[in-house]
Amino acid sequence: MIVLGVESSCDETGLALYDTERGLLSHALHSQVAMHEEYGGVVPELASRDHIRRALPLLEQALSSAGIAKTDIDAIAYTQGPGLAGALLVGSSVACSLALALDKPVLGVHHLEGHLLSPLLASDPPEFPFIALLVSGGHTQLMRVDGVGRYTLLGETLDDAAGEAFDKSAKLLGLGYPGGPAISRLAEFGDPTAYTLPRPMLHTKDFNFSFSGLKTAVLTVVKSQQTNICEQDKANIARGFVDAIVDVLTAKCVNALRHTGLKRLVIAGGVGANAQLRASLNAAAAKRKFRVYYPELEFCTDNGAMIAFAGALRLKAKPDAAQHDYSFNVRPRWPLDELEAA
Ligand code: ATP
Ligand code: MG
Ligand code: FE
């Protein structure tokens, strides 16, 4: 069965083809980062308009690199939420009109389920159950995952998401948008002893996070230096920030593993691409005898492959999960725990 995946929840348009027999056939992606950069963040209306321009050319690209025709598609999975309403509407309408034209069934997919299952696309995927740390631009959640759609939330951020903290702190250092990768690169040149920033909620017994205070700490340091903040000092602050956030994320993952007795940890979402986080988790895994699994780097941030894949897993479990019902609604806010088990 070949599933087309359509992702358009934020500022990436992604189309991908996943075959339940042969695996991922192809994926095509356009990131709008350059377009939104001059505004310092995503402009929703511009995002929607750009999804309209990109969707069909990306579909052609995905089809031709897979070497199949539109009529070979068996079902279409699209991101129904959460995300920007206008952006979601573009992907949903593209998916549903295509399905109508081809007389194929459609299935709305939860964007975070896509992220969460993306590490299973890698070679040597983890088995259920596992602990998942979802660290994206809009979410920071620790979950126990017992199967597709069987998610128990252990804890989450009380304020900013991890990716948001990276982006906001990077902005304070004048690093542009999105600043996650830039602040991470800069931190490599920083002195780890120059600034020790707070590690919010590091020692609380729960699995929640809070990152807005860390961002404020970056602001306070930047302000105190403002007369002439040199490049080395920026790198030192970046290092202080990255070390603090990585320490907290690692400690909470270790606690969740200890609490549940599980030995598998899965990382998903854009911040999962972070090199310092991966190094810290790998070191903890070696020391504490658990295994950690990551998505391929290109599937950490938004993409169509994870949507095609999540749709395919749901269809495998329940063939009537996709319907010939082409009326659609998007769910800009959609808690993950409202999903049914597959
Ligand atoms: P959500 O999925 O919660 O709706 P999103 O789709 O915007 O949010 P993702 O695409 O998963 O989030 O991830 C984007 C985030 O990941 C951004 O905040 C970005 O700065 C961050 N990010 C990407 N690469 C890195 C990196 N190497 N280090 C740190 N952060 C990174
Ligand atoms: Mg994005
Ligand atoms: Fe995302």
Q: Is the pLDDT of residue 228 over 80?
A: no
Share above pLDDT 90 across residues of the chain, in percent, rounded to a whole number = 97
Residue nearest to atom 13 of ligand 1 (CA): 270
pLDDT reported for residue 207: 98
ipTM: 0.98
How many angstroms is it from 298 CA to the middle of ligand 1?
Answer: 12
pLDDT reported for residue 86: 98
Name the pLDDT band for 226 (thresholds 50, 70, 90).
low
Mutate to test the pocket of ligand 1, among 10, 301, 306 (most ligand atoms within 8 A of CB): 301
How many angstroms is it from 166 CA to the middle of ligand 1?
Answer: 9
What pTM, to 2 d.p., does this model score?
0.97
Which ligand 1 atom minimizes the distance to the CA of 178? 20
pLDDT averaged over the chain?
A: 97
pLDDT reported for residue 278: 98
Name the pLDDT band for 227 (thresholds 50, 70, 90).
confident
Ligand-binding site membership of 243 (annotated): no
Nearest to 114 by CA among 311, 272, 319, 316: 311
Q: Which residues line ligand 1 (CB under 6 A)?
A: 10, 83, 111, 115, 136-139, 163, 166-167, 178, 180-181, 184, 269-271, 273-274, 301-302
Q: Which structural domains are found in the chain, ordered by start? A: 2-116+299-338 (3.30.420.40), 127-294 (3.30.420.40)
Task: Specify the DSSP class assigned to residue 88.
Answer: H
What does the radius of gyration of the chain's CA atoms come to, in whole angstroms?
20
Ligand-binding site membership of 274 (annotated): yes
Ligand-binding site membership of 233 (annotated): no
How many angstroms is it from 51 CA to the middle of ligand 3?
Answer: 15
- The stretches of the chain forming alpha helices (DSSP H) are 33-37, 44-66, 85-102, 111-117, 162-172, 180-187, 212-224, 231-260, 275-288, 305-317
Q: Is-contact 195 229, C-beta < 8 A?
A: no
Nearest to 194 by CA among 169, 156, 221, 168: 221
Q: Is the pLDDT of residue 264 over 70?
A: yes
Ligand-binding site membership of 115 (annotated): yes
- Write out pLDDT tens, residues 231-259: 999 999 999 999 999 999 999 999 999 99
In the numeric block, the tokens 């970046």 are attached to 238
- Write out pLDDT tens, residues 93-126: 999 999 999 999 999 999 999 999 999 999 999 9
- Write out pLDDT tens, residues 195-220: 999 999 999 999 999 999 999 999 99
Q: Is the pLDDT of residue 177 over 80?
A: yes
Starting from the edge strand earliest in sequence, which strands make up the sheet with 150-156, in order?
A: 150-156, 140-147, 130-135, 264-268, 291-293
Which ligand 1 atom minimizes the distance to the CA of 170? 20
Starting from the edge strand earliest in sequence, which strands make up the sheet with 12-19, in order?
A: 23-31, 12-19, 2-7, 75-81, 106-110
- Write out pLDDT tens, residues 12-70: 999 999 999 999 999 999 999 999 999 999 999 999 999 999 999 999 999 999 999 99
